[in-house]
């Protein structure tokens, strides 16, 4: 269980508790990306292992998670802001364990009236899916979900290079270019827990995501030897 975090002290203990209840016995590791609000301390108090990630950016945290957990049968990745339901985790894990999929994506379904996803972000997601479809192929329905489960084969097959929020798009490109089976499972998407704020910039990070799609289309994905 990998939880990349940057300044999520208000939410991380609740996230950890939820996943401990849904996946009893799972190893929970928080990859703390230079938080200044006590995220690491809150995570340790909640019983998680904390791995510091000094290079700033979500991509670095996810890459650290893949390196640290490469020998696990399943790696579940989730944001530390409380927007994803822990109770859905067994449904994401099951297709990996039975060999149906190498990546299972928790496809976000914003809760009605809750304001979990702004119209600007919704539009940006649609534009990014269009770019992916044009340059790479048919994308998953939710390219940018931060809630995923991976097989050992997936983790061992890709060499990720993203530094920031383009990491989810790179994961989708990896699955497409390597022919790794992917499955989507709809999950509720909830507002962030009070006291946390989004670190994503729709314009800046949207442009980085599109550049990632273009670059990967040109160069192909590096595969570990």
CB of 106 within 8 A of CB of 92?
yes
DSSP conformation class of 95: H
In a domain, 225, yes or no: no
Q: What is the pTM of this model?
A: 0.83
CA distance 83 to 76: 15
The CATH number of whichever domain residue 39 belongs to comes to 3.90.550.10
The count of residues in the chain is: 225
Q: What is the pLDDT of residues 109-157, one digit of tens each?
A: 988 655 555 555 555 556 666 666 665 556 556 888 999 999 999 999 9
Q: Which residue range forms the structural domain that includes residue 128?
A: 2-219
Task: Tally the domains of the chain.
Answer: 1
In a domain, 137, yes or no: yes
CB of 149 within 8 A of CB of 22?
no
CB of 23 within 8 A of CB of 98?
no
In a domain, 224, yes or no: no
Q: 118: part of which helix (H) or strand (E)?
A: none
In a domain, 77, yes or no: yes
In a domain, 71, yes or no: yes
């Amino acid at each position: 269980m990998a939880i990349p975090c940057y300044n999520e002290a208000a939410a991380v203990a609740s996230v950890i508790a939820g996943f401990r209840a849904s996946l009893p016995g799972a190893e929970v590791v928080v990859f703390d990306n230079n938080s200044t609000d006590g995220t690491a301390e809150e995570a340790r108090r909640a019983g998680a292992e904390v791995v510091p990630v000094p290079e700033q950016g979500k991509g670095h945290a996810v890459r650290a998670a893949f390196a640290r957990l490469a020998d696990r049968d399943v790696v579940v990745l989730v944001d530390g802001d409380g927007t994803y339901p822990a109770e859905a985790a067994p449904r994401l894990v099951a297709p990996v364990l039975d060999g149906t999929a190498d990546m299972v994506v928790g496809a976000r379904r914003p809760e009605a009236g809750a304001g979990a996803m702004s119209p600007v972000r919704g539009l940006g997601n649609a534009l990014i899916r269009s770019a992916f479809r044009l340059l790479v192929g048919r994308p998953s329905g939710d390219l940018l979900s931060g809630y995923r489960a991976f097989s050992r084969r997936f983790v061992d097959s890709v060499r990720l290079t993203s530094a920031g929020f383009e990491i989810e798009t790179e994961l989708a490109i990896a699955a497409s270019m390597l022919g790794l089976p992917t499955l989507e499972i709809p999950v509720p998407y909830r507002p962030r827990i009070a006291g946390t704020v989004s670190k994503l910039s729709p314009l800046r990070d949207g442009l980085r995501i599109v550049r990632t799609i273009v670059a990967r289309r040109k160069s192909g994905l590096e595969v570990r030897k």
